[in-house]
Structure 1
């Protein structure tokens, strides 16, 4: 299976309103060999803090604390979340075919996408099959497989991306989504 919609729905208008307090200067260019420079931007919303055993626990940073609705989205996921960030893919930009090694249910680490702003001319292709996502939905995708993204629209594609460790809670959500 390449992708499955999970049983969550989020208010993208509230997310957009919260994100409107940030300017382009608050986002960082993502260096990635599969993306042309200055076409894919991110803003991190959590940061690692060491627990009493010296292990990292990812907690809301100052940016996320300014966004109460996004904080509630973060708190929805009752599994260890190691990435909680906004990705912006500029109009006309593409992410070339690549794989994110290890990001699959089978490997115990999943990458989830919540589209905030998307368009019918945005194409996500996983293992040569298109995956259509709509704003506010939450999707698990097997990014361990080869995938690519093309924003053929005139507007930015904005996604909230989470990297989560699979635990019993997530397994139950995943199984319910398969039914």
Structure 2
């Protein structure tokens, strides 16, 4: 399945920015998952379960949702929701401050497979915001609407000088949404890598992996990129993908063996 898709819809981003001006700086709540970020990651609730209008947590409520008081000032957001015509659940404004970082994590139970989709609408951003899903960057610009499968490992770093603010909308992954987002489409990047690996012999795979390991030791950026991945399965897949990008295709088994060998060496008693 795909993990990202830009919906073919236009957004009145100036109306959303007018919402932010009316809301001002009051009422922004720090995100509750303190272990997952450094810096300012905060938000305003626009739609939530009854009695949860002051919490960024999107669970609870037994499937009942209602607008929070802040929605009364968000004419642009309300118009966008009406334009979408979807089964809307949670709606929040999420702000990632300048220099802030959200560490790699998964939002379990969220994704088209589970019947729920998260849409991101950038309102204010800058070129130095790096939003990665399964370690691959998603280039989202103001006025666009993106479906992201955030049940997959993802992380964000705002290395720019200004805050990044997105309107984040959780909706049912129903038939209407599926007319816009082909959830069941094979990820073209995964397919491309698989085709290249199928054409690579075991002998070439072993040589290429040895060469890739040498390259990683001398390439600081590559080392940092892989070191940021916490999920073991994703680490293996991304090491393979980056090998393909480096014209050094090798099989996942090469990485698996290296990881096991590294752990065994670590566990050996000191001599």
Q: Would you say same fold, with TM above 0.5?
A: yes
Residue number in structure 1 paired with 2:168: 161
Which of the pair is proportionally richer in helix? 2
* Match 1:62 to one of 69, 78, 95: 69
Select the structure with the greater relative contact order (CA < 8 A; seq sep ≥ 6).
Answer: 1
Partner of 1:21, secondary structure, is helix
The CA distance in 1 between the partners of 2:152 and 2:62, in whole Å, is: 29
Question: Which residue in the other structure is 2:37 paired with?
Answer: 35
1:141 is aligned, of 133, 137, 148, to 148
**Could you say which residue in structure 1 is the equivalent of 2:9?**
8
* 1:93 is the counterpart of 2:95: no
SS of the counterpart of 2:23?
coil
- Structure 1 partner of 2:87: 80
What is the aligned-residue RMSD (CA, Å)? 2.0
Is 1:109 equivalent to 2:109 in the alignment? no
Shift in Å at residue 132 of structure 1? Answer: 0.4
Q: Is the 8 A contact 2:101 2:156 kept in 1?
A: yes
Q: How many residues align?
A: 173
CA offsets 1:99-155 (integer angstroms, 9 cap, x no match):
111222122111110000111100011111111000010000111110000000000
Asked if the contact 2:86/2:176 (under 8 Å) is kept, the reply is: yes
| CA deviation vs aligned residue, 1:60-104 (integer Å, no higher than 9, x gap) | 232112222211112223332221110000000000000111222
> Tell me, what secondary structure is at the counterpart of 1:70?
helix
Could you say which residue in structure 2 is the equivalent of 1:173? 180
- Looking at structure 2, the residues matched to 103 and 26 of structure 1 have their Cα atoms a distance apart, in angstroms, of 26
Q: TM-score, normalised by structure 1?
A: 0.88
TM-score, normalization by structure 2: 0.60
Q: Aligned partners of 2:63 and 2:113: how far apart in 1?
A: 23
Cα distance between partner residues in 2 of 1:142 and 1:61: 25
Residue deviations 1:10-68 (CA, integer Å, cap 9, x gap)? 122221112112232221111212113x6111101113359xxx954323232112222
Counterpart contact for 2:23–2:73, Cα < 8 Å: no
Select the structure that is richer in strand.
1
Give, in whole Å, the separation in 2 of the partners of 1:8 and 1:63.
25
**1:105, 1:86 → 2: CA distance?**
22
